Structures are given as C-alpha cells and as structure tokens.
Amino acid sequence: MTILSTKNLTKTYGKKTALSQINIEIPRGRIIGLLGPNGSGKSTFIKLAAGLLVPTDGEIIIAGEAPGVDTKAKVSYLSERTYLNDWMRVSEIIAFFEDFYEDFNRIKAENMLKDLNINPDDRLKTMSKGTKEKVQLILVMSRQAQLYLLDEPIGGVDPAARDYILNTIITNYKEDAAVIISTHLIADIEQILDDIIFINQGELVMSSSVDEIREAHNKSVDGLFREVFKC
C-alpha cells in the first residue's frame, strides 16, 4: 500500500529548477532516507509533501489525496527551522499540539521529555540549539501519523541523543506508517533505513534498498554517496 506517490513532480522557483520530473512511490511500513548534497532539492520535496509548497508541474499524492487539510491530519512534519514561539514553555507547546492534532499522544511526549531530561516548565529560549531540536522531534514523533517527514532531524544533537532519537524512530515503527528522513549525515542513520532515495540537482539519481546497495557495491550507502557525489 502506497502512502506517497509522485508523478513528474516538478518545482521551479523563477528560473531555477529545484525538482525536475520526480517519479517515486513510497510504501507504508518503510523508513526512507532522502539523501543528496546541499541544494539538491531535499527540503523542497519535503515541503511539497507537507503541503507548504505547491508543485509547478506534475503531482504528489499522499494517502490518495493531494496535500491539503486532510493530509495534514495524517502527516507529521519536522521542519528544518523552528516555527515555535521562543517565549513558550514546553508544557504550553504540548497543550498547543494537543489542541491542533487529534492524533497527538501527550503521555508519549511527556515520557520522552523525561528520558531526555527536559523540564516541561522550561521556556524554549533558555534552551540550547540541540535541546530545542529534541523538543521539536518529540512533538512530531508523539503524533500517531501515517507519514512522518523529518527534515534534518539529527543535525544539531549530540551522539547520545542521536542514538535515542534513532531508537525512538525504530520504536515508533508502524506497519501502516512511513518515515521519510532527509539528511546528509548518512552514516549515522543508515542502519535504521529500509530504502534510500538519492537526489541531486533536483533529479532522482537512485532509489534502492540499503541492503541492495551494500550487496551490489560492497559499500555502505555512505561510501557510495561519497563516491557518487565526489567534489
């Protein structure tokens, strides 16, 4: 069962093409790495799926529909930049999420905060960059969504927290949901991925399973990436 599919998905910003004729199908129950160098179109893809951008051409379908109000209830999106108000306390943001999303699980969020020693009474502005990232990821993963879109979720956190976050993604694994993780820190997340999608300069370069790549190239995905995108 497909959760996300695209047909000739294209996005241009003025004269610049960010994504060109992308055709992919993402089944439920998979964890997918969206990989590519800086400026390859990863964030554009995620934003199209999140319904924040509209395709210039082609289409993107999520759970049978074009991104909109209905799909937003099924898609949990972690943006690259924070959109939460700095002056808010974590507990207030949790109340916010509970209001906004029917599928938000408060107990899950509170447990994760506890595991990572984050005080719900703290205000975001008093937190380090890494801690803020953790809070956002906790919020996003505490929804019972069908599609999780994580744009660079592990960029700013320390290795121990990274392990916890990856574990959280594995624990959260559900057969009817898919997780798309965009990142360039491939080596760190490779073990938890089913499939990868390589994009470069807006074009689909490769889409394959991690073990297929390892089998065919005798290399990790990280190793192959370094070879393909050698500067």
Contacts to other proteins by CB under 8 A: 29-31, 163, 166-167, 170-171, 173, 187, 190-194, 210-211, 214-215, 218-220, 222-223
Q: How far is the CB of 192 from other proteins (least distance, A)?
A: 5
CB of 30 to other proteins, least distance (A): 7
**Shortest approach of other proteins to residue 144 CB, angstroms?**
16
Cα torsion 157, 163, 165, 168 to 10°: value is -170
State which residue, 86 or 215, has the beta carbon closest to other proteins: 215
The residue among 26 and 166 lying less far from other proteins, judged by its C-beta, is 166
What strands, in cross-sheet order, belong to the sheet with 147-151? 75-78, 147-151, 178-183, 31-35, 195-200, 203-209
Q: How far is the CB of 59 from other proteins (least distance, A)?
A: 28
On whether the CB atoms of residues 33 and 196 are closer than 8 A, the answer is yes
- Name the β-bridge partners of 31: 179
Smallest gap from residue 166 Cβ to other proteins (A): 7
Judged by beta carbon, residue 192 or residue 205, the one nearer other proteins is 192
Which residue lies nearer to other proteins by CB, 86 or 158? Answer: 158
156 is written with which tokens? 């700013």
**Phi, psi of 11, deg, nearest 5:** -135, 125
Give yes or no for a contact between 3 and 31, defined as CB atoms under 8 angstroms apart.
no
Choose between 63 and 192: whose C-beta lies nearer to other proteins. 192
Q: Compute the distance between CA of residue 201 and CA of residue 186 in angstroms, rounded to an integer.
A: 18
Distance CA 3, CA 80 (A): 22
